[in-house]
Chains A and B, each alone.
Chain A
Amino acid sequence: MARPMQVSRYWRHFREKYRLIGGKCENGHVHFPKRSVCPVCGSRNVEEIELSGRGKVISWTIVRNPPSGFEYYKPFPLALVELEEGPIVLAQLTDVDPEEIDFGMEVEVVTKKIREFEEDGIILYGYKFRPVLK
C-alpha cells in the first residue's frame, strides 16, 4: 500500500483535511468538501469557504472491526458531526471517553494523525473532533 505515488493522492486534499476548506454557492448553500456543482441548487458558481470546525455530534459508533490498515487504532469512535455552517462531516472523535459521547455533544476540530503505512510509507494527517474545551 505504501508506494511513493500514493503521496499525491493524499496531498491533493490537504487543504480540506488540514483546514476544512468547503464550498459556498452563489445562493448561500454551504457544503463540504467543495464541489464544482452545488448539490442543493445545481449552481456552478461555487466559492471556497473555510469552515469554523465547531459543531455537534448527531450520531456515533465505536468501530471494533475496522478495515485493514486501522487495526492498531481499534476500537475508535467515529461520528457524524453537524458543523455550525450546516454541512455534516464524518470523522473520528478523539480525546473522549466513549461513555461520554452523546447526541448534541459540542465538538471542535483538531488535526491528528489518521494512520501510518509501513515504515517506509507516508503518515496521514487529517481532522478529528474533540469535545469543546471548557
Chain B
Amino acid sequence: MRKAVIIGAGMTPVGEHWKLGLRDLAVEALLNAMDDAGIDRVDSLYVGNMVSGPFVEQENLGALIADWAGLGNIPAVKIEAACASGGAAVQEGVKAVLSGLEDVVAVVGVEKMTDAWPSDATRYLAYAADAEWELFHGASFVALNALVMRYYMKAYGYTEEDLALFAVNAHANGAKNPYAMFKRPIKVETVLKSPYVADPLKLFDASPVCDGAASVIITTPEKAKELGVPKEKWVEVAGMGRAIDTISLASREDLLTLKAAKVAAERAYKMAGVEPKDIDFFEVHDAFTVMAALSLEALGAAKKGEGAKLAKEGQIAIDADYPIQTMGGLKARGHPVGATGVYQTVEAVLQLRGEAPSQVPDAEVGVTQNIGGTGSNITVNVFRRV
C-alpha cells in the first residue's frame, strides 16, 4: 500500500483580520505551504471550511481558492464536517494520495468569522447543531457545551476551577506561539473571574471567534524524493479515523462519552499500529474546557471520568506525560472553525520536525482530534516522524 507524507506546512496568524478576506487568508496559507515544500503546482486542492456561506456569502471555495492561488484547472472542492471540516479535509487529501489517483495534494483550512455581527456568528455556528430540535429553542453552541459541562462536573465531582486548568495550560503554550491569537499566560482566577456566557461555562472556558487559514501539502515518499524535498521535512500520516454520533445532544446514548472520538481513535490507532501510551502529544479539540477533558478520555489518555484529573495532576504540560495543546490549542491559538483541523495538523508537523516553539522533547508520534458539532462528527489523525 502507498504511504502518505506531509512535505509542506504553512499558516497565517490567527486573529481578527479586518484587512484580509477569506480568499486572502487561504491563499497566503496555501502559498506558504507550497513554498515550504518547494513546489509550485499540485494535482488537486481540498478546502476545509464550515460556514463560509452565511459568514461571507461565499461558497464554491474550491474554485475560488485554486483560482486565486494560480493553481490552474485542477480538481478542487470544499469539505464540510462542521468544526471538524479541517481534519476531514486533511483525510480526504490523504485518501486521494493513498488511492493513487493523485500524487501531490494541497489541503487548506480557512474560516473568516469576524465579518459577522457577534449574535449572527453565534447563530451560524449553531448551524452545526440540530436546527429543528436545538437551534429552534435558542440553543447556542456554547449553551449545549455548558449542559455537558454541568453534567460532567456533577457526575465526577469536579469544579469550575478544575476545568479552568485546561485554559491555563493552553494559554501557557500559546504564549510562545507567534501564530496564536492570545500570546498571554493566564491564571485560574482569570478564568473564574470572566463572565458567564452560559452558566457554568465562562468566557475563558471558550475558544474565540476569529479568522485564520492553515495548509499542508501531502504526497508519497517516492514522489517527495523525486521532487527533491529534504527528508527532514517529511512527516508521515500514519493513521486516520472518522465517525459520527447523534447530531442532537439530547439523543446521545451517554452524554459523557465522545463515542465518535472513541470509534475514530480506535480506527486511527489500529491503522498506525500505536496505543495511547506510544503517543508523545495530543492536539485535542478544546473549543470548551470540558471538551478537552472528554477528549482525553475518548482518546485513551485517561479513564472515563478522569480527563480533568490529568490536568489537576499536572500531566498535560509540555514536559509531562500527556502534553496537549502544544501551541495553544483552540483556546489560545484560536479556533477559526473550519481551519482548526488543519492548524492542528501543521502544529503536529512542526512538533515532529522538532521546529515547534514549545517543543515536546523527542516527539515521534502525535495525535490530532477535531470535533464537529457537540461531538457529532469527529476526526482523529496520527502523525509520525519519518
Interface residues of A (CB under 8 A from B): 13, 31, 33, 39, 58-71, 73, 76, 78-80, 87-92, 103, 114-115, 124, 126
CA A39 – CA B244 in complex, angstroms?
13
B151 an interface residue at 8 Å Cβ cutoff? yes
Partner of A67 from B123, B133, B196, B250 at Cβ < 8 Å: B123
Please state if B119 and A71 are interface contacts (CB–CB under 8 Å).
yes
Please state if B137 and A88 are interface contacts (CB–CB under 8 Å).
no
Please state if A63 and B143 are interface contacts (CB–CB under 8 Å).
yes
Residues of A within 8 A of B122 (CB): 65-68
**Chain A binding surface SS class:** strand
Q: Contacts A61-B143, A68-B120, A71-B119; is A90 near B201 (CB within 8 Å)?
A: no
Within 8 A of A (CB), among B127-166: 132-140, 142-143, 146-148, 150-151, 154
Please state if B143 and A88 are interface contacts (CB–CB under 8 Å).
no
Please state if B132 and A13 are interface contacts (CB–CB under 8 Å).
yes
Residues of B within 8 A of A73 (CB): 138
Please state if A39 and B140 are interface contacts (CB–CB under 8 Å).
no
CA A60 – CA B151 in complex, angstroms?
8
Residue among B132, B143, B201 with the highest chain A CB neighbour number at 10 A: B143
Q: How far is the CB of B140 from chain A (nearest CB, A)?
A: 5
Residues of A within 8 A of B151 (CB): 58-59, 80
CA A89 – CA B198 in complex, angstroms?
18
Residues of B within 8 A of A63 (CB): 138-140, 143, 198
Please state if B251 and A64 are interface contacts (CB–CB under 8 Å).
no
Please state if A80 and B250 are interface contacts (CB–CB under 8 Å).
yes
Known: A67-B126, A89-B250; 11 extra A-B contacts, CB below 8 A, are A33-B132, A60-B150, A61-B146, A61-B201, A63-B143, A67-B119, A67-B123, A67-B139, A76-B138, A88-B251, A126-B136
Q: How far is the CB of B226 from chain A (nearest CB, A)?
A: 49
B271 an interface residue at 8 Å Cβ cutoff? no
Please state if B119 and A39 are interface contacts (CB–CB under 8 Å).
no
B118 an interface residue at 8 Å Cβ cutoff? yes
Interchain residue pairs A-B with the least CB separation, the first 10: A67-B123, A61-B146, A68-B119, A70-B138, A59-B151, A88-B250, A61-B198, A90-B250, A59-B147, A62-B199
B246 an interface residue at 8 Å Cβ cutoff? yes
Q: How far is the CB of B121 from chain A (nearest CB, A)?
A: 9
**Interface 0/1 of B60-103, CB less than 8 Å to A:** 00000000000000000000000000000000000000000000
Within 8 A of A (CB), among B208-253: 246, 248-252
Q: How far is the CB of A23 from chain B (nearest CB, A)?
A: 12
Please state if B246 and A60 are interface contacts (CB–CB under 8 Å).
no
B192 an interface residue at 8 Å Cβ cutoff? no
B117 an interface residue at 8 Å Cβ cutoff? yes
Residues of A within 8 A of B143 (CB): 61, 63, 66, 78
B20 an interface residue at 8 Å Cβ cutoff? no
B320 an interface residue at 8 Å Cβ cutoff? no
Residue among A60, A62, A63, A88 with the highest chain B CB neighbour number at 10 A: A63
Residues of A within 8 A of B196 (CB): 62, 64
Please state if A59 and B150 are interface contacts (CB–CB under 8 Å).
yes
Q: How far is the CB of B249 from chain A (nearest CB, A)?
A: 7
Please state if B133 and A33 are interface contacts (CB–CB under 8 Å).
yes
